[in-house]
Amino acid sequence: MSENPAVNVQTFINESPFRGFQWLIFAMCFGIVLLDGFDTAAIGFLAPSLITEWHISRPALAPVLSAALFGLACGALISGSLSDRLGRRLLLILSLLVFGVACLASAFSVDLSELTVLRFVTGIGLGAAMPNAVTMMSEYCPDSRRATIVNLMFCAFPLGAAAGGFLAAWLIPTFGWRSVLVFGGAAPLLLAILLFFNMPESVRYMVAKRKPVEQIRAVLMRMSSRAATAGSFFMTEQAPAVQGKQGIQLMLSRPYIVGSVMLWLAYFMGLVIFYASINWMPILLKEAGLTPQLATRVSALFPLGGVGAVLCGVLMDRFNATKVVAACYALTAISVYAIGQAVGNVGLLMLVVFAAGVLMNTAQSSMPALAAAFYPTQGRGTGVAWMLGIGRFGGIGGSFLVAELERRHFSFAGIFAVVAIAGLVSCIALIVKQINRPQDVTVNRDEGEALVH
């Protein structure tokens, strides 16, 4: 037996306890997702103050409210290939700096045009940070718990959204609307400092990029002292690598292109449902005869469903992950359709809206973990980022879809029947992905993953 054996990095992670070092990485990535939820919810609370202070109409706010969504999409699409070339850690820190500085600067905006531009830049920073947080966390997880831990991390989004609402409701009357943006800018800057001193580079990325053995060993030593005797490192991939390709080229290569497009379609359609419901349900319920207060309370049940993601992650780790998420989307379609049929019975309506929220948010929150497991290390950052980036346009499309259905005088039941179709499309897309999955292979030491010095 060799004194300095070659160590399989993923096997090392699988066999080591999930210790404080990895929980610290989890906490930092959790914070990034929390900021996304905060920013998504808090900006809506600024609208009344902007209308009053700048004497503008409600339609004039549309560019400000949508600018961050466009920025999120652009940031995700740009950052993916950079992450696979430059590393996860650097992109995370730079993304948080862009997000924080732009959000802080937006607190001092003098007009709507300036605020719109800064909101777009804020979105770019946050859009770049999110997929890299998913990639980083997934690459430090044992195989048996990856989906559970990544889904748990995504529970930060609804928590951040709730915190954004409560914090804005307290800050605005006391300190004004600009204080929300000051807080929203200071938090990511502080988090960037924390990452600079505590966030390591992805160990799988370091092996793929042939970083020095000493550098990899130093990181793994923080997980277990067993790494001290390692003379070299290599890794195995459940997803097959494509010779000579990484980033966008790998994502669009023959083994992956069908699965990539299906992931984009599923995530896009999921956000069609989410934003169509979040943005329009209170209005539609009022038009259907509910009082404004009751319509608001019923609508608030929908985003509470994100807690189901943890259970879904457990199921994904135990069974076929793609089939589990596809089933969630199929049940989402049924429950969203049922919302349109239950409007005459308030008790049943509340139950159905909550069930739809649980299923929808569970499916959507599980998609990043599904994407991270689908790609090998050389294309994981790009694959996750592009799915999140393209999916953001689904959020924009969902709002416009319901507006068009309203213009065409669809009934309450008719609108939710159309929106439910998006859930079926997501389900079918994941079934197609499952049928066309790349064959599982093992990358061995001789194919360039071993590091020996």
- Among 25-29, 144-148, 244-248, name the one with the lowest average pLDDT: 244-248
Query: For position 429, what pLDDT does the model report?
Result: 95
Does 189 have pLDDT greater than 90? yes
Neighbours of 440 (CB within 10 A): 9
- In terms of phi and psi (left: phi > 0; alpha: psi -120 to 50; beta: otherwise), the region of 55 is left
Q: Give the three-class secondary structure for 87.
A: coil
Classify domain 247-435 by CATH architecture.
Up-down Bundle (1.20)
What average pLDDT does this structure show over 217-239?
A: 82
Q: Which residue from 279, 248, 272, 317 is spatially nearest to 419, judged by alpha carbons? A: 272
Query: For position 377, what pLDDT does the model report?
Result: 77
pLDDT in tens, 56-75: 876 677 788 778 878 888 88
**Maximum alpha-carbon separation in the chain:** 78
Tell me how many degrees the CA angle 288-415-308 measures, rounded to the nearest 5: 95
C-alpha 109/C-alpha 178 separation (Å) is 9
Does 90 have pLDDT greater than 60? yes
pLDDT in tens, 96-143: 999 999 999 999 998 889 999 999 999 899 888 888 898 899 889 888
- Cβ atoms 425, 432 nearer than 8 A: no
pTM of the entire structure? 0.79
Q: How far is CA 239 from CA 203, 236, 256, 388, in A?
A: 17, 9, 10, 20
- Cβ atoms 102, 121 nearer than 8 A: yes
- Cβ atoms 317, 141 nearer than 8 A: no
Q: Which residue from 407, 406, 325, 411 is spatially nearest to 365, judged by alpha carbons? A: 325
What average pLDDT does this structure show over 289-293?
A: 77
- Among 81-85, 153-157, 257-261, name the one with the lowest average pLDDT: 81-85
Residue 208: CB partners within 8 Å, gap ≥ 6? 235, 377, 378, 449
- Cβ atoms 398, 276 nearer than 8 A: yes
Q: What DSSP letter does each residue of 288-309 carry, written as one string?
A: TT--HHHHHHHHHTGGGGGGHH
Q: Which residue from 399, 405, 356 is spatially nearest to 69, judged by alpha carbons? A: 399
Residue 429: CB partners within 8 Å, gap ≥ 6? 262, 263, 265, 266, 269
Mean pLDDT over the full length of the chain: 84
Residue 51 class from Cβ within 10 Å (0-12 exposed, 13-18 middle, 19+ buried)?
middle
C-alpha 249/C-alpha 379 separation (Å) is 8
What average pLDDT does this structure show over 357-365?
A: 87
Query: For position 305, what pLDDT does the model report?
Result: 59
Q: Residue with structure tokens 């980036």?
A: 389
Query: In terms of DSSP bridges, do strands 451-452 and 6-8 run parallel, antiparallel, or are they unpaired?
Result: unpaired
C-alpha 216/C-alpha 326 separation (Å) is 37
Residue range 6-220 in CATH 3.20.20.60:
no
What average pLDDT does this structure show over 342-346?
A: 83
Of these ranges, 66-75, 257-266, 402-411, the one predicted with the greatest mean pLDDT is 257-266
Q: What crossing angle do the helices spanning 377-407 and 112-138 adopt, rounded to 10°?
A: 140
- Cβ atoms 139, 25 nearer than 8 A: no
Query: For position 417, what pLDDT does the model report?
Result: 94
C-alpha 240/C-alpha 405 separation (Å) is 44
DSSP H stretches of helix in 288-376: 292-300, 308-318, 321-341, 346-374
Residue 448 phi, psi dihedral angles, 5° rounding: 100, 10
What average pLDDT does this structure show over 382-397?
A: 85
Query: For position 237, what pLDDT does the model report?
Result: 66
Stretch (H or E) spanning 264: helix 257-287
Q: Residue with structure tokens 């360039």?
A: 448
Tokens found for residue 334? 């049924």
Strand 6-8: give its sheet, edge to edge: 6-8, 232-234, 451-452
Query: In terms of DSSP bridges, do strands 232-234 and 6-8 run parallel, antiparallel, or are they unpaired?
Result: parallel
Q: Where do the structural domains in the chain lie, given as residue ranges?
A: 6-220, 247-435
